[in-house]
Structure 1
Amino acid sequence: MGSASRQALETAIAALDKLGSTDLATGERLLAAARAIAGSTQLRALLADPGIEAQGKSRVVNQVFSGFGDIVPVLDAVVNARWSSGNELVDGIETLGYRAVSASAPQGVSVDRELFSFGAAVGSNSELELAVGSNLGGHGAKTVLVDRLLVNASEQTRVIVRHIVQSPRKRRFSDAIRRAASVVADQSGLGVATIRTATALTAAQLDRLEKALSVRYGRQLSINQVVDTGLIGGVRISIGDDVIDGSVATRLNDLRLQLAG
């Protein structure tokens, strides 16, 4: 996301915070608005155009989203901020939707962990990822499949995953799930550590790693485990801009570079 869009996102989050407490319906309306704008090239271009006056954009928002209740002022603030592109404007509204949905979760429900776990399960099965993430096929069938797979998950997690299958936007499904989980973790005040290993770690290993990294970084971290057989062995950890790479694949590549030199 460009610097202009990052500033716009801060403005958008502040507008959402002004609503006070948000419920699940608020998040669902924001995600529905994101889908509507993503699905209309003309609307997306108009609302992201910095050359159009704020009054004109506000008029469009009030006309198109008149039935969306409390989120209309939020959408008005979003479209009148300066975004780097129409796609990033949609990303911004989507982010607000994820934050509102996750904020409505009952105490003790970890939406980010449910999303990370589901993304990992789907990402490890190419047929399943194609079934839920392909741009082909009807959204209705995918939604039914998602609800069946997430029968034991929270309603908040199901709402977010339904949104992703209804609005794929040429994204890999697993990437979209990881982004949503990262937004949810951030909204909960958690950092996100993505752990890549050649084989899955046990729950005990993940727990020890989470505690060690949380101490090192001075904040609670949410662990996103990704199995990547290309690593051969070892572990690669990404936390924000920091990368700790102890994978066998990287060490072998470093060795090849040294021999080539």
Structure 2
Amino acid sequence: MNGASREALATARESLDALTDNTSVDAAKLAGELAAVTALLDREVSLRRVLTDPAQNGDAKAELAGRLLGGQVGGETADLVSGAVRSRWSRSRDLVDALEELANIADLTAAQRAGALDDVEDELFRFGRIVDANPALRSALTEKAAAPSRRGELLDSLLGGRANPVTGRLVGRLVTVPRGRSLEQGIDSLSKLAAARRDRMVAVVTSAVPLSDGQKERLGAGLARLYGREMHLNLEVDPTVIGGISVRVGDEVINGTIADRLDEAKRRLAG
């Protein structure tokens, strides 16, 4: 998002945080209702354009949203959507993207309240790796010719009873309503949102053998000092690295594997 849309999203996120700071608000219910509004506006292009038309008065757009949603969603959801349509958006689609993000944050808030945010982060990471390693599964979960309900049923067969309900809802929306994104992009976005719930960064750590608890603790503390933020470690074991570890934080890679050193030595000899 750019310009006005970025500012509008920031305002909407502040409103959501203020609302969910009140533990009496059902964050999971809020997430479901926001997801339903997202799906509605994704389908109804003309309505979306009316609600983001910069030539229209913000209060008038909010009133229209309130009339449309009245009785369909709770008051908290209606207030969030009304507040969002009062803002100025650079593109009409940005409003839908923002509401989808609010739905995902609300679900992650529900997981955080239940003390399950770490589990959800780890499950998103593992699911992403499973999809990467299994092209046939990825194809089945993203097959456009298949009905969304069929894709959802396949996902349920994979995750049912094995993952946190929040993970199931988050990934379920990606699979049934992809909205033009790849599954990998969607999972990566969700992982970043999950990490941001505690102002943490995500480090993908690859090692030849599993790290001990002490090693994980020292590595996490060292990365936190280096980046100035708490770090969540997503751990992978890959025997091909031979020894040492590789750490990726965003686009930055810190590579200390023996395999990498051997490759570098070969390059120097070849040069």
Change (3 A) 1:124 1:82: farther
* Residue number among 61, 67, 71 corresponding to 2:65 in the alignment: 61
Aligned length: 247
Question: Residue in 2 aligned with 1:82?
Answer: 88
**Any idea what SS the aligned residue of 2:37 has?**
helix
Residue identity matched to 1:81: S
Structure with the greater relative contact order (CA < 8 A, sep ≥ 6): 1 or 2?
1
Equivalent residue runs for 1:223-234 within 5 Å: 223-224=233-234
Q: Would you say the 8 A contact 2:201–2:229 is kept in 1?
A: no
Superposed displacement of residue 81, structure 1: 1.4
Superposed displacement of residue 201, structure 1: 6.9
Question: Residue in 2 aligned with 1:191?
Answer: 200
Identity %: 28
Question: Residue in 2 aligned with 1:140?
Answer: 149
- Matches of 1:168 and 1:225, distance apart in 2: 27
Q: Would you say the 8 A contact 2:8–2:89 is kept in 1?
A: yes
Question: Residue in 2 aligned with 1:164?
Answer: 174
* Residue number among 160, 176, 179 corresponding to 2:189 in the alignment: 179
Change (3 A) 1:142 1:215: same
TM-score (ref. length: structure 2): 0.78
Equivalent residue runs for 1:84-123 within 5 Å: 84-105=90-111, 106-110=114-118, 111-123=120-132
Question: Residue in 2 aligned with 1:237?
Answer: 248
Superposed displacement of residue 65, structure 1: 1.8
Q: Would you say the 8 A contact 1:120–1:225 is kept in 2?
A: no
Change (3 A) 1:11 1:176: same
- Matches of 2:34 and 2:255, distance apart in 1: 41
Equivalent residue runs for 1:238-257 within 5 Å: 238-239=249-250, 243-244=252-253, 246=255
TM-score (ref. length: structure 1): 0.80
Q: Would you say the 8 A contact 1:8–1:83 is kept in 2?
A: yes
**Any idea what SS the aligned residue of 1:18 has?**
helix
Where does structure 1 lack aligned partners over 5 or more consecutive residues?
none
Superposed displacement of residue 227, structure 1: 9.9
Change (3 A) 1:91 1:203: farther
Equivalent residue runs for 1:14-93 within 5 Å: 14-19=14-19, 20-21=22-23, 22-23=25-26, 24-66=28-70, 67-69=72-74, 70-93=76-99
Question: Residue in 2 aligned with 1:153?
Answer: 163
- Matches of 1:146 and 1:160, distance apart in 2: 11
Superposed displacement of residue 72, structure 1: 0.3
Question: Residue in 1 aligned with 2:6?
Answer: 6
Q: Would you say the 8 A contact 1:37–1:90 is kept in 2?
A: yes
Change (3 A) 1:46 1:171: same
**Any idea what SS the aligned residue of 2:78 has?**
helix
Superposed displacement of residue 172, structure 1: 0.6
- Matches of 1:203 and 1:154, distance apart in 2: 25
- Matches of 1:112 and 1:51, distance apart in 2: 41
**Any idea what SS the aligned residue of 2:73 has?**
helix
Superposed displacement of residue 48, structure 1: 2.5
- Residues 171-212 of structure 1: per-residue CA shift (max 9 Å, x gap): 11011011012112212x132335386x88745476664443
Change (3 A) 1:202 1:37: farther
Q: Would you say the 8 A contact 1:196–1:237 is kept in 2?
A: yes
